[in-house]
Structure formats: structure tokens, C-alpha cells
Amino acid sequence: MGRFEKNARDKFERRLVISEAESKSLELADLNLSEISRIHIFHVSHAISLVLNNILPIEKIVLHPMMTWIWYSKYTNVSKKLLIKILY
């Protein structure tokens, strides 16, 4: 486990922690993100904090999901904390 993952209880919570760290890194990089017309993201967990923290508007994100959370939940337990972040 990486340093951002040590307090997370499962892989879905780890993804939330990593997403938060990624969004903070983009904020600290001091990039002019308003000039970006589109950003392509290949796993939904990478978009969560970018959108919730208003770093990138959802309209600029093109999401190519590997699997949706509904799909994951059919085959494994998905933490309620993660579902709340995604659905609300």
C-alpha cells in the first residue's frame, strides 16, 4: 500500500483517498486548467475529487470507465462511503 492508502479499509476507499491526493496535486501544480478544453479519464475514481472539489467542471471530462460502480457492486461489496460520494 502507498502512503495515501494506509487508513483506507478497502480498495474502494483507497481509490477515494488517491483521488483526493490527485486533485490536491493538480491544485498545487498551479496549472491554468481553465484553458483545458477536455480531459480524458479512464477510471471513474480519478474524476471524483476533480469534480467534487471544483477543480475541473464535469463538462470538460470525458470518462472512459473500465467498469461502473453498479457493475462492481454485482460482484463485490462496495463501501457505502464510496457510493455516497458517487451518487450525491
Q: Give the pLDDT of the chain (88 residues) as one tens digit per residue.
A: 444 456 667 777 888 888 888 888 887 777 777 788 888 887 888 888 888 888 888 888 888 766 666 676 777 777 777 777 666 6
User: What CA–CA distances, in Å, run from 57 to 9, 24, 37, 47?
Assistant: 29, 15, 10, 10
Domain boundary assignment for the chain? 11-75
Round to whole Å and give the CA distance between 7 and 14: 8
pTM for this prediction: 0.57
Name the DSSP class of 60.
G
